[in-house]
Chain A
Amino acid sequence: MSVYLLCLVLFCVGLYCILRKRNVIKIIVGVVIAEYAVNLFLALVAYRFEGRAPIFSPDQKILNMVDALPQALVLTAIVISLATTALLVGIAMRIYEKYGTFDITKIKELKG
């Protein structure tokens, strides 16, 4: 149970960064940390005590494997998170090129 709570604390650090910081790059860093926390939570749910990795070997019979389904879901989510992070970085670099700053409070021209 306390492992889940530590994972939630990690998610909350990312959430605090998204809500509180004014710098666009800092907001992207918060999004990345929150993604790590969610991936870690799904992998923690799949773990089983005394379990083996879900790969068969030719000479021995393995019965106690960990849950393979959340691992398969996380595997696609990791690559998608990289692509969305790159999209955020592209938008942030465009903002810097147009306004000369990363600070979202100084970008008054975004209004209207």
Chain B
Amino acid sequence: MVSYLIFLLVVGGIYALLAQSLCLAWGVTGLVNLGLAGFFAIGAYASATLTKWGGVPVPLGLVAALVAGAVAGFVVCVSTLRLRDDYLAIVTLGFAEAVRVIASNEIWLTGGTDGISGIPAGMPRDWGQRFHIISLVIVTILLGLVWLALRRLVASPWGRALRAVREDQIVAAVAGKRVTRLKAEAFAIACAIAALAGALYGHYTSYIAPEIFQPLITIYVFLAVTAGGNGRPTGAAIGAYILIAFLEATRFAAEIVPGVSAVQAAALREASVGIALILLLRFRQRGLFPELNQKAPA
């Protein structure tokens, strides 16, 4: 039971990092990233290949993941930033699929559909419970750092400019904000955070494969961020833990629903994710932790 909870807290922390990413891109800046799973994958592969085959220490792998995520994010968003925001949504959706196809087929680089197993964690895995507790501490600390940094960024003049862009690009541009540049910066940073989450996932579980990075993960994170409140890092992080609790709770709920087959139970579980997202968007769009009215600059 305890190891199950620790495991869920680690996974929850990784999802919370993804939620921080989406909070910055979507909640604060208004850029919808439907390719979150793709950036998650980029980070996972960057760090896993370098540490496993390149002999690079794990912390450097994490840095490499951040860089790879930022570069990928910039490349993906740069062609669409001047367009309506829904174009970015379509491009990112395609990006995630493209990453999965490339990861499956470029065997020399990614190990192909076999994936990469035995990814080093930077500490011995046979420590048992200790391994998981230390992992939990590391993931939680990193999440805390990202959360703190994001809170400060959001409160800074840069963050206010991003919100101005989100509310009305034209007004923001007239007010002298460099809209495209601001959007590119925010999106690249957000993608770097998602990539960091991917790297941590790989090091913690020791295994990554293209099949992990499916679009469903992106929907999960949207659910998390919507539940918590998309404009605030705190809300997004808590939303991620709620998400994991929800996903696991549906597992137990499915066991007690009478008269349905295993497939039907599985279908109900997946449908409940979609229904929860629809209901939240409709009735509690600002989440549990709504964005506060902005304080005057200090």
A pairs with B? no
